[in-house]
């Protein structure tokens, strides 16, 4: 892929991923975030983190479909960092706007509300992934250890889904689309890896 094309695609990814934040900032500026601005901020940042997480999970299976799609791997780190970015904004909404920076209130929430506990677990699982997203971290840890650490994306995804389901009221179907997509992607990653391993084994046997 040409360098100019890659730069344009990365610019597009930046613009697309920052879109939800831009909408929130515009809504705050125009006072159009609805009757409950705090809930709107929490919902937008949380859903943005979930759907960008789905895109991150989709990159590896999709690029394995064809050698012509190998360039997609260049975007996985960038997209993954946006997952942590929106997850952090989502958490800070709870810390600042719901808990008013009260440690007592936050501890009370974590112990009494299971969706808050799952939200914190998700963020804590994503934190080491974000901190080790640099080339320096990969060199220091070694590719094998780095890859093992980044398997935390799997339990983080499951915790994120549990957080969403436990947050909404019983009978509300809004988490279903995101859950189905994430589950399909979580199953697709090991499935495509297994198929690729079998294909290589057959090639070596021949």
- C-alpha torsion 181→184→187→189, nearest 10: -70
Position 206 scores a pLDDT of 60
Q: What length does the chain have?
A: 206
Q: Helix H segments across the chain?
A: 3-29, 37-63, 76-92, 103-112, 114-131, 135-141, 143-149, 153-167, 176-205
**Alpha-carbon span 159 to 10, nearest angstrom:** 29
Residues of the chain scoring pLDDT < 50? none
Tokens encoding 151: 């398997």
**Short-list 33, 35, 7, CA closest to 21:** 33
Task: Determine the pLDDT at residue 8.
Answer: 92
Half-sphere exposure of 135 (CA within 13 A, CB side): 1
Report pTM: 0.91
What is the token pair recorded at 59?
């990159």
């Amino acid at each position: 892929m040409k360098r100019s094309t890659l730069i344009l695609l990365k610019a597009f990814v930046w613009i697309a991923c920052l879109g939800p934040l831009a909408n929130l900032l515009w809504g705050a500026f125009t006072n159009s975030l609805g009757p409950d601005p705090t809930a709107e901020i929490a919902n937008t940042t949380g859903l943005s983190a979930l759907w960008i997480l789905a895109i991150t999970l989709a990159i590896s299976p999709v690029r394995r479909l064809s050698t012509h799609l190998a360039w997609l791997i260049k975007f996985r780190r960038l997209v993954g960092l946006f997952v942590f970015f929106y997850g952090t904004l989502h958490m800070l909404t709870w810390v600042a706007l719901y808990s008013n920076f009260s440690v007592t209130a936050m501890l009370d929430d974590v112990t009494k509300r299971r969706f808050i506990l799952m939200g914190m677990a998700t963020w804590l699982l994503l934190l080491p992934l974000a901190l080790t997203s640099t080339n320096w971290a990969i060199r220091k840890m070694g590719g094998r250890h780095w890859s093992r650490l980044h398997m935390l994306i799997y339990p983080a995804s499951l915790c994120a889904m549990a957080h969403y389901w436990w947050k909404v009221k019983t009978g509300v179907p809004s988490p279903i689309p995101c859950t189905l997509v994430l589950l399909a992607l979580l199953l697709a990653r090991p499935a495509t890896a297994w198929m690729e391993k079998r294909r290589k084994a057959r090639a070596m046997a021949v």
